[in-house]
């Protein structure tokens, strides 16, 4: 499989195949009427839309950083059927095609801990034990997010699946961030809230070039209108406010906005009116 790729200063950025699934289009566009969103996103007869779950892999001079981990391979047959899981998660194979292995990954940033972002963190070995997929990595999560993983509310229980965090809980590499932290030169995680209480974004900059990964604040290019939020957003007013702020700030810097769930577009640039002016196709 060929991975999409982008050069950002001294960094190479790749999109890795984290599996595809289908969700109800209504849930992905929350308050937006179907007559509007269906013009922007292709929808099947059962009202589902296709989305990928593709982590970014950043090759920096002395770090190999993964942003989120895809669906993984622990979903049950029933879950695979419900979500119509398509081309399977194949991150180890994709890394090896690029000349790396899972053991080379130095850092895993979790924008948040929903199953479609954290599912690839762990797998189950032959003895039935959960083992880390990226065994040498440090894991960067916001402190608030991690608290909610330990004590999910009734809605989060369906998506902070305990089987994704068996090993990671209490492991030495787990690094909890409160707010903002530069995890290596040019890569900074920043708390945003909005989608979940402890959701974070990642700013990537090298040699004057900037990209920003807004995670589920900006899941697909169809969500470029700040008012187009998801029914899955826990704090939609915060999402709207953050999108307005961050779109303005980063469009001034001519940054690339990288995308996790958009099957067609890997990254885009915006003007100061939140219009897409340039796209990098998958």
Which residues form the interface with Zn ion (CB under 5 A)? 116, 216
Smaller CB separation from Zn ion, 18 or 132: 18
CA 38, CA 61: separation in Å to the nearest integer?
Answer: 42
Smaller CB separation from Zn ion, 57 or 115: 115
Cβ-count burial of 3 within 10 angstroms (0-12 exposed, 13-18 middle, 19+ buried)? middle
Q: Hey, which bits of the chain come out as E strands?
A: 4-8, 11-15, 20-24, 48-52, 56-60, 63-67, 107-109, 122-124, 130-132, 138-142, 174-177, 180-184, 187-191, 200-206, 209-213, 256-258, 265-270, 276-281
Smaller CB separation from Zn ion, 203 or 233: 233
Smaller CB separation from Zn ion, 107 or 116: 116
Cβ-count burial of 160 within 10 angstroms (0-12 exposed, 13-18 middle, 19+ buried)? buried
Smaller CB separation from Zn ion, 11 or 29: 29
- Tally: H helices and E strands in the chain: 7, 18
Smaller CB separation from Zn ion, 116 or 144: 116
Give the shortest CB-19-to-Zn ion separation in angstroms. 12
Give the shortest CB-71-to-Zn ion separation in angstroms. 10
Give the shortest CB-96-to-Zn ion separation in angstroms. 26
Give the shortest CB-157-to-Zn ion separation in angstroms. 17
Give the shortest CB-115-to-Zn ion separation in angstroms. 9
Query: Which phi and psi angles does 41 have, rounded to 5°?
Result: -145, 130
Which of the 8 DSSP states describes residue 45?
A: T
Cα dihedral sign, 175-233-272-36: positive
CA 194, CA 239: separation in Å to the nearest integer?
Answer: 5
From residue 19, alpha-carbon distances to 75, 177, 192, 207 in Å are: 11, 28, 25, 32
Smaller CB separation from Zn ion, 203 or 216: 216
Give the shortest CB-215-to-Zn ion separation in angstroms. 7
Give the shortest CB-176-to-Zn ion separation in angstroms. 21
């Amino acid at each position: 499989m060929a991975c999409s790729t982008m050069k950002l200063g001294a960094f190479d950025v790749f999109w890795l195949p984290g599996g595809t699934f289908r969700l109800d289009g209504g849930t992905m566009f929350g308050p937006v009427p179907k007559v509007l969103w269906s013009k922007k996103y292709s929808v099947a007869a059962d009202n589902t839309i296709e989305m990928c779950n593709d982590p970014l892999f950043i090759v920096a001079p002395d770090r190999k950083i993964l942003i989120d981990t895809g669906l993984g391979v622990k979903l049950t047959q029933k879950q695979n059927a419900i979500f119509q899981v398509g081309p399977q998660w194949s991150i180890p194979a994709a890394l090896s095609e690029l000349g790396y292995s899972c053991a080379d990954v130095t850092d895993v940033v979790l924008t948040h801990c929903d199953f479609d972002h954290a599912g690839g963190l762990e797998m189950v070995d032959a003895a039935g034990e959960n083992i880390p997929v990226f065994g040498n990595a440090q894991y960067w999560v916001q402190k608030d997010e991690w608290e909610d993983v330990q004590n999910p509310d009734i809605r989060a229980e369906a998506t902070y699946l305990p089987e994704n965090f068996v090993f990671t809980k209490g492991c030495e590499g787990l690094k909890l961030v409160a707010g903002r932290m530069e995890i290596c030169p040019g890569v900074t995680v920043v708390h945003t809230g909005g989608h979940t209480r402890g959701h974070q974004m990642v700013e990537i900059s090298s040699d004057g070039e900037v990209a920003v990964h807004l995670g589920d604040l900006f899941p697909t290019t169809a969500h470029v209108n700040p008012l187009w939020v998801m029914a899955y957003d826990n704090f939609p007013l915060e999402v709207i406010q953050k999108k307005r702020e961050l779109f303005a700030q980063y469009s001034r810097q001519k940054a690339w906005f990288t995308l996790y769930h958009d099957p067609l577009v890997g990254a885009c640039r915006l003007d100061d009116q939140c219009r897409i002016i340039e796209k990098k196709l998958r």
